[in-house]
Amino acid sequence: MSDIRHDSKAPTRTRTMPAGTRIDAHRHDEHQIVYAGSGVLAVTTEHGTWFAPGTRALWVPAGAVHAHRAHGHLDLHSMGLPADDNPLGLDTPTVLVVGPLLRELILAYTRDPEDRGPERARLLAVLRDQLRASPQQPLRLPTATDPRLSAVCALVHEHPDDPRTLAALGAATGTGERTLSRLFRAEFGMTYPQWRTQSRLYHALRMLAEGLPVTTVAHRCGWSTPSAFIEVFRRSFGYTPGTHRRRG
């Protein structure tokens, strides 16, 4: 753990990150909320990767070792809260839905980190209330610990358009379908189709942030038609892939 950077405070600030920028593994003594005004933010820990487009924020609890990666040009807004101030009561990284009011509160609060006036303190109080009311969303790709499960996940990550069934993937990696199905539920708490959808959405967000057309993304991520992709994307994020491209 000696190579893990330790920052006593999670910085409250606004910064830009060019596409592909990485921030290596580090940890804070404070809780951190990170929001991408444009692009897609991915936060990775030893337990998996959480990803957030512009309508989502990421809660990173104090002490959690994590790394960041920018997909597309990222306008990153981050703020810290003391370890004893946990309005969400969460001790694991979590994706939060960001509505219009919470978005404006985050942007306003991170605009001038040096401001210590009473207005900013009131702003923080409202922001904390909105955080508590913000729905959580499982936009996460968990990391497999069982090597049999890890082998299947690696195949799908490498080729998100792979149409093979779990039985066919098991045959390719030497593990039975029933065993893999059990492992998906035991380790990830979801079925293989549910996990595959999460994986495809992650790749879709990344490709859209890189400027690829919606039809191209749909096919490269394994959807049978662009309309099927658009419907899954809209149900997951609340807006269409075309809107996401324009936001990024």
Under the banding of pLDDT at 50, 70 and 90, the label for residue 156 is: very high
Q: What is the mean pLDDT of residues 145-174?
A: 95
pLDDT value for 2: 44
74-109 exposure pattern, b = at least 16 Cβ within 10 A, e = fewer: bbbbbbbbeeeeebbeeeebbbbbbeeebbebbeeb
Over its C-alpha atoms, the chain yields an Rg (Å, rounded) of: 19
Distance CA 237, CA 98 (A): 10
Among 192, 89, 177, CA closest to 142: 192
pLDDT value for 202: 92
* Residues 8-59 pLDDT 10s: 677 888 888 888 899 899 999 999 999 988 888 899 998 899 988 877 899 9
pLDDT value for 239: 83
Q: Say how far residue 123 (Cα) sits from the centre of its chain.
A: 26
Q: Decide if 248 contacts 208 (C-beta within 8 A).
A: yes
Under the banding of pLDDT at 50, 70 and 90, the label for residue 1 is: very low
Neighbours of 1 (CB within 10 A): 7
The domains of the chain, with CATH numbers, are 5-139 (2.60.120.810), 144-247 (1.10.10.60)
* Residues 171-222 pLDDT 10s: 999 999 999 999 999 999 999 999 999 999 999 998 998 889 999 999 999 9
* Residues 56-85 pLDDT 10s: 899 999 999 999 999 888 888 999 999 998
Q: How much is the pTM?
A: 0.82
